[in-house]
């Protein structure tokens, strides 16, 4: 980490691990930072495609179409997560792996895909009868085929993450998303029902398998020689996944049962929009941090410093986005989704609170996996699951989709407390150190929210579409400007600490401007 702003770095390397003497670790730090940049770009590209797709699809399909697919994917993804034994994580964790291990991981992935597909086929008719919707049976059968095909993905692409070559992964995932996007929109225009969504999912998975072999030269062979080692590494991940299903998949099943396909469709779309901060900002950073953490697993001091630095950047980026989503939910739904989706507004607002509570521990899982302690993830998630299940059932029965969203927020608060208790015990990461890098973004974000809400009350009239669009854009721009001014002022009042996330962000911004200046000055 740089001790001052006099020596700007060329990328996000300043947020990453410090050597014992306090100097920047230009090796691992810059590699992880470069990888994080590519993953963020990847997520932005994928999200842009997804947003464009949603804007079109909500006009072509009914909420019930989204609901039936969300219900089917909740079951299929839940089964997928339960059986996700982390073969790729095991290869990343082992810094040296031979062909036998890669071939075994590929073979186990195929067997896993066959098993997931078989369970989905067996459950398709009973689940269709339970929810009294034969469409669910059809969707599950098509998803079974998609999961069977995806099991044959080339295991060699794990090297993209293991060796921090995220530019290659960027191309793979974006091209898969493009294939899914084109298929979904084309079929939605022709069919005008939920089959278009399933076609897009299936084509995306097929494209992923094909591209994995065209983009990586490795050609796996069937082998189970190293299966025992993988299963020993993955035994705790099975429990992690089981608890994770309760924390992340149970909501869709319960909302679908008690609120119907239409209610679940509203909930699913609201969830996707409300958790943009986590999926588009935090997930890419965490994905790039895992291999970096793994390389520092033997040095608790550097690992703790890396966690604090990453937490600061996470809060600086995601706090204003999450709070902004909460206060702008009303105008955004009216503009983007239309009058048929107004029920999504309170759900989005509550889920934004859930995202705010979930953010501080977003990179805890990556850290625990890097040090070979997946059991700690289980102990973190069990209390949240025990709280979530009764709150989810009771909240949905009484309040519908908003009650389910509130249950998620309560469970996230429990997970936050438990996660920091484990961090303090295992890595001596104190709450005070985390608070030091998080309080300014939170205070600035809250103040920004108050300003935006005040503007909305000032303009509280029934506007035309054009006027609503103009007000929404203006409120968003003023909110961003106020947040930047507020968080910078708080940093200055705190004495401009060079280890703060604001200092890293300013360094990155200045260097980015300098790079653009040098590029524009270079003769073509």
Q: Say yes or no to pLDDT of 110 above 50.
A: yes
The CA-to-CA distance between both ends of the chain, in Å, stands at 35
Q: What is the CA radius of gyration of the chain?
A: 23
Q: DSSP characters for 341-358?
A: GTTHHHHHHHHHHHHHHH
Quote the pLDDT of residue 234: 63
pTM more than 0.85: no
Q: For residue range 179-225, what is the model confidence (pLDDT) as tens digits?
A: 988 999 999 899 888 899 999 999 999 999 999 999 999 899 998 88
Q: Is 261 helix (H, G, I), strand (E, B) or coil?
A: helix
Q: Is 423 helix (H, G, I), strand (E, B) or coil?
A: helix
Q: Say yes or no to pLDDT of 27 above 50.
A: no
* 87-91, 264-268, 330-334: segment of lowest average pLDDT: 87-91
CB 28 within 8 A of CB 16: yes
Cα separation, 309 vs 18, whole angstroms: 10
Q: Is 67 helix (H, G, I), strand (E, B) or coil?
A: helix
Identify the band that residue 474 occupies on the pLDDT scale cut at 50, 70 and 90: very high
Which residues sit opposite 18 in a β-bridge? 24
Cα separation, 426 vs 195, whole angstroms: 48
Mapped to the 3 state alphabet, what secondary structure does 362-398 carry?
A: CCHHHHHHHCCCHHHHHHHHHHHHHHHHHHHHHHHHH
Quote the pLDDT of residue 349: 94
Quote the pLDDT of residue 225: 81
Q: Say yes or no to pLDDT of 379 above 50.
A: yes
What's the DSSP call for residue 11? Answer: S
Q: For residue range 390-415, what is the model confidence (pLDDT) as tens digits?
A: 999 999 888 888 999 999 999 999 99
Quote the pLDDT of residue 17: 38
Which residues sit opposite 430 in a β-bridge? none
Identify the band that residue 124 occupies on the pLDDT scale cut at 50, 70 and 90: very high
Identify the band that residue 46 occupies on the pLDDT scale cut at 50, 70 and 90: low
Cα separation, 318 vs 264, whole angstroms: 26
Q: Please state, rounded to an integer, the average pLDDT across all residues of the chain.
A: 80
Mean pLDDT (whole number) for 298-305: 79
Q: What percent of the chain has pLDDT over 70?
A: 78
* 9-18, 256-265, 491-500: segment of lowest average pLDDT: 9-18
Q: Say yes or no to pLDDT of 248 above 60.
A: yes
Quote the pLDDT of residue 64: 81
Q: Say yes or no to pLDDT of 7 above 50.
A: no
Place of tokens 């993450």: 161
Cα separation, 447 vs 489, whole angstroms: 13
Quote the pLDDT of residue 442: 95
- What is the Cα 378 distance to its own chain's centre? 19
More confident residue, 202 or 249: 202
Quote the pLDDT of residue 277: 64
Identify the band that residue 258 occupies on the pLDDT scale cut at 50, 70 and 90: confident
Q: 303: burial class by Cβ within 10 Å (0-12, 13-18, 19+)?
A: buried
Helix 401-427 and helix 344-358: axis angle, to 10°? 0
Mean pLDDT (whole number) for 40-67: 72
Largest CA distance in the chain: 69
Q: Say yes or no to pLDDT of 117 above 90.
A: yes
Quote the pLDDT of residue 428: 72
More confident residue, 25 or 131: 131
Least Cα distance to 480 among 362, 328, 354 occurs for 328
Cα separation, 72 vs 67, whole angstroms: 9
């Amino acid at each position: 980490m740089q001790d001052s702003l006099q020596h700007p770095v060329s990328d996000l390397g300043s947020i990453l691990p410090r050597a014992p003497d306090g100097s920047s670790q230009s090796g691992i730090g810059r590699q992880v930072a470069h990888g994080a940049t590519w993953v963020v770009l990847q997520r932005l590209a994928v999200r842009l495609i997804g947003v464009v797709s949603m804007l079109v699809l909500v006009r072509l399909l009914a909420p019930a179409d989204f609901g039936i697919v969300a219900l089917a994917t909740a079951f299929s993804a839940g089964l997928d997560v339960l059986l996700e034994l982390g073969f790729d994580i095991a290869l990343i964790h082992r810094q040296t792996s031979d062909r036998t291990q890669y071939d075994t991981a590929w073979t186990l992935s195929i067997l896993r895909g066959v098993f997931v597909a078989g369970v989905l086929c067996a459950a398709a008719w009973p689940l269709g009868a339970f929810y009294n919707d034969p469409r669910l049976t059809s969707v599950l059968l098509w998803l079974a085929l998609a999961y069977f095909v995806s099991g044959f993905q080339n295991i060699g692409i794990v090297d993209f993450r293991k060796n921090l070559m995220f530019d290659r992964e960027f191309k793979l995932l974006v091209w898969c998303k493009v294939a899914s996007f084109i298929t979904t929109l084309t079929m939605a225009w022709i069919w005008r029902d939920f089959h278009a969504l399933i076609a897009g999912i299936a084509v995306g998975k097929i494209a992923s398998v094909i591209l994995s072999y065209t983009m990586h030269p490795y050609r796996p062979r069937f082998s189970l020689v190293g299966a025992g080692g993988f299963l020993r590494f993955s035994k705790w991940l099975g429990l992690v996944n089981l608890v994770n299903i309760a924390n992340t998949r149970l909501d869709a099943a319960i909302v679908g049962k008690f609120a119907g396909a239409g209610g679940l469709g509203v909930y699913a779309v609201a969830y996707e929009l409300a958790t943009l901060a986590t999926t588009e900002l935090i997930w890419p950073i965490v994905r790039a941090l895992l291999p970096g953490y793994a390389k520092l697993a033997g040095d608790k001091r550097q690992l703790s410093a890396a966690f604090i630095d990453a937490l600061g950047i996470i809060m600086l980026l995601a706090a204003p986005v999450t709070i902004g989503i909460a206060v702008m939910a009303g105008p955004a739904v009216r503009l983007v989704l239309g009058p048929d989706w107004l029920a999504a507004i309170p759900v989005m607002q509550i889920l934004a609170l859930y995202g705010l509570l979930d953010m501080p521990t977003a990179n805890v899982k990556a850290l625990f996996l890097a040090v070979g302690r997946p059991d700690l993830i289980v102990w973190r998630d069990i209390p949240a699951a025990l709280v979530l299940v009764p709150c989810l059932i009771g909240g949905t029965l009484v309040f519908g989709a908003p009650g389910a969203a509130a249950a998620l927020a309560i469970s996230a608060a429990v997970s936050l407390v438990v996660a920091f208790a484990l961090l303090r015990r295992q890595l001596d990461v104190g709450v005070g150190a985390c608070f030091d890098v998080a309080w300014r973004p939170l205070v600035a974000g809250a103040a920004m929210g108050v300003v935006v809400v005040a503007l909305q009350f000032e303009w509280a009239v029934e506007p035309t579409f054009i006027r609503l669009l103009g007000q929404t854009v203006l409120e968003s721009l003023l909110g961003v400007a106020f947040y930047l001014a507020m968080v910078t002022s708080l940093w200055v009042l705190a004495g401009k600490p060079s280890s703060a996330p604001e200092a890293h962000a300013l360094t990155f911004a200045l260097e980015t401007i300098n790079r653009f200046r040098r590029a524009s000055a270079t003769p073509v």
